[in-house]
Amino acid sequence: MALPLQAFADTFTLKGRVTDSDNNAIELATVSCTSQGVAKIADFKGEYKITLQSADSVEIRFSMVGYQTRKRMLYKPKGTITMNISLPGIELGEVVVTEKQRQRDMEQKIDVKGMKTMPSTTGNGVEELIQQQAGVSTHSELSSQYNVRGGSFDENSVYINNVEVYRPLLIRSGEQEGLSIINPDMVENISFSAGGFAAQYADKMSSALDITYKKPTHFEASASASLLGASGYIGTGNKKFSMTHGLRYKTNRYLLSSLETKGEYNPNQLDYQTYISYNPNKNWTLDFIGNISENHYNFKPGDRETSFGTMEEVRSFKVYFDGQEKDIFRTFFGSLGITRHIGDATNVQFLASGFHSKEQETYDIQGQYWLDEAEVLNNLGVGTYMEHARNYLTYKVGSFQILADHKMRSHHIKGGITYKIESVEENAREYEMRDSSGYSMPRTADALQLIYSLHSQNKIDSKKIEFFLQDTYKFKGTGNETFYTLNYGLRFSHWDYNKESLLSPRVSLGIVPAFNSDFTFRFATGLYYQTPFYKELRDTTTINGVTTVTLNQNIKSQRSIHAIAAMDYKFSVQDRPYKLSAEIYYKNLSDLIPYNVNNVKVVYYGQNLCNGYAAGVDLKIYGEFVPGNDSWLSLSYMKAQQHLNGSWIPMPTDQGFSANLYFTDYFPGSDRWKMTLKLSYAGGLPFGPPHTGLEKQVFRAPAYRRADIGMSYRIVNNENADGQKKKGKTLKNVWAELDCFNIFGINNVNSYYWVTDVTGQQFAVPNYLTGRQINARLLFEF
């Protein structure tokens, strides 16, 4: 049946763009006419087009979770009408809340503003934020390292302004760790993926952390000091030139004083960084990053007393020490980038970077111990042990990259080629001797045997070529309001050391369904490799009690196939925006190189010996109570197993359940008092006697449980003042902070020291982490 011409004459078309207060597009905003029961969703550029029936008056409604709704009345509309609309954020007292950019791939954006007032034990604010994410865990507040969905510390790639960065290799404990290479004062954007990441990121099996340093357009500065160190930052810039400098000093002597091993702790870490960017004209950009870091760890142990066991069988372990440890970790890093801008849509960048680390770990420590039954004062063992190490390592990495990206209306194409030169030289010798009641362990009739002795003198020079190409394609479903974001790409690499070539296809799809734009569904799969660096190459052979390290040139890259399905749902409660995220994943692992973990030291078998899997589910709900600061609760369950020597055994990272709470908010009616709370729970990890196989790790450590709270008071607040009041003001904010670490005083176990008596019976003595500590801090922002 044909429609009358009047039906067409009475319609009109409304089109335009929906933006926020800063003129940024609001993606997938809803444009509706409730009286006619018609609604349309704006596209990824905030643009919309809707056809409606004309009338004397037509009310149009523009809405989006996290923004104020706007209504516009049209009188006798006809033809085509263009209407651009701006939606301001919701105002909750002094707080303005807006919706975050929708996540349509596997890389989530993390806010950085809360780092400045977050209670921190390491001084590495970025890594501590990552440790609180769903699927991520840590078992030590002294370390900035983290495990992601069953992966080891070494399976996480880190980038700063498109350059992959590294960490020291000889670090074996959180006490030795200094400041990470990421300076939180200089960070502008954080992008993190716990799996299913795009082809642009290097050959790591677990996660990708992408950091972008800021380019200030005006003068800004900050300075802070606490019982754990100090930092200073200064930045300035204009339309053509920007420059930032960051200086950090850390000493965790005060924090280490709460450990059970008493002595003279003297750790000192100093780090300087600069980032300079120059735009001589619209066609060129020059970028330079420089970093110098020096970490000294000096320790003279005194004594230690540890009580452990059960309520029925309490044991006491006492040790008196002689000797000392002296470690030095010296790092240099620099990168130079030249970018050619071809119009507004195309960029070609040349990047050259260099990384140099010189590490020294030396110690001679003797301990005389007594192991007693505490209840009845019955002595179970008396002995002596001595640990010796002279470990020296130098490694250098140089890289040359050509990166290109091109934007079209629906496509964003990226590609790059990288040439790397890697050099590592190691000279290490370490041993451990145990004497129990006058008998050397292990006991032999005619020789003095050491329980552990290792020698390594190796050097490797290698070259690697990497290439990637990827496209992000945004499109709309035919005949409906379903929006799709498809990322697909390919990565290739060749390493001349083992003559291995790798091809890694990766794809992800984000869907915003027509039935409800508050939902986003995400799917990803891909082939990911873990290219060996140096530690994975170290194979060992033991002859006459001496273990010698050789490099396995036949080693292969470990492989992981990711399969991920995820869902995000946005909703509002009392005008506050919230988001619920759920991800389920499965990782098929093959050509694995098994490893043991002691504290944060990872020791590999040096051979591809097993296969395995990691599977789990991550849940996260978060909202915003303080501008620029997310609060969230994450829950995760994960199972990680490997098939070794005919048996399925848990991987060293198989923790089961974990939970993290990060909450920050102002006190009611005040923008001066702010509270930040961090709660962490991570299931216990498998462990067993040292210098034995993974098959012997049949025990479970207690779960890691920790609560840190920080109270901040804003002494000076010129941040929210109007232009007239800000004039002549040098200070923007002054914060006084008081943090309480481990507020409940929980004794978390970091590792175990194993004591063997002359009968061969072994006792696992727990090494506890830090106790309850108070930290005071002052922060000045200019």
Nearest one of 655, 641, 685 to 135, comparing CA atoms: 655
Rounded to whole angstroms, the Cα distance separating 423 from 242 reads 34
Q: What are phi and psi of 5, to 5 degrees?
A: -60, -30
End-to-end CA distance of the chain: 72
Rounded to whole angstroms, the Cα distance separating 28 from 41 reads 5
What pLDDT sits at residue 8?
Answer: 47
Rounded to whole angstroms, the Cα distance separating 211 from 208 reads 10
In DSSP notation, 24-42 reads -B-TT-EEEETTTTEEEE-
State how beta strands 163-164 and 156-160 pair.
antiparallel
Provide the residue type at 721 as one letter. A
Q: What angle do CA 475, 477, 478 make, to 5 degrees?
A: 120
Q: How many residues are given for the chain?
A: 782
pLDDT along the chain (782 residues), means of 10: 48 90 81 86 85 89 81 89 84 44 81 81 88 90 91 92 88 83 92 93 92 93 93 94 95 86 88 96 95 93 85 83 92 96 93 95 90 75 86 95 93 96 94 66 59 89 96 85 91 95 96 87 95 89 84 94 94 80 96 88 91 96 70 93 93 94 85 89 90 84 94 85 59 91 92 74 85 92 90
